[in-house]
Amino acid sequence: MGRRDHVIAREIKAMRALGLRVALDDFGTGFASLTHLLTVPVDVLKIDKSCVDSLSPGNPSSVIVGGLLSIAEQLGIRVVAEGIETESQAAQLSAFGCVLGQGYLFSPAVDRDAMTDLLLRLGQPLPAETPSVATESARTGGTAAGANQRTPPDAQGAVRRRA
């Protein structure tokens, strides 16, 4: 992005006016910054796997991820944590208030037909009462790190856990 943020923001606003939801992927990798949350209107932040990988109590990454979740909540942006591979990561994200996640803890990657079936059976409906609240598309998948229910995996392997 960079110097053309205003052009990108205008285009994203036009897409959102058509009912599309916009996700900012790989947040935390250096290509996406907090400034983008001020200049680019997004519905969903996808926290990069590299941030999730280093989660552990007392680790600086935990402070950053917790802070991102707090900022996103206050801005009305949904957050998907990518690359959740352990129960410990899922539990820590859940404790931070993160309810959407994807990773091999929930499901390996699945093919298009399997994903379509899962989305049709278990997908999250769009929240009708709050159209500005982010809803993940089939690409981002509806997943939960701490919701204890099953939802469909996305192409990268994401699902909500069952009780």
* Active-site position among 73, 82, 87, 136: 82
Cα 80 from Cα 12, distance rounded (Å) = 19
Structure tokens at 148: 């204890």
How many beta carbons lie within 10 A of that of residue 34, not counting itself? 10
Q: For residues 59 and 155, give the distance between their C-alpha atoms in angstroms, rounded to a whole number.
A: 30
List, in order, residues 6 or more apart from 132 with CB less than 8 Å away: 43, 76
146 Cα distance to chain centroid: 13
Does the annotation count 82 as an active-site position?
yes
Angstrom distance (rounded) from CA 29 to CA 50: 8
Instruction: Kindly give, in sequence order, each residue whose CB lies less than 8 Å from that of residue 31, ignoring residues fewer than 6 positions away.
Output: none
Q: Which residues are catalytic?
A: 82
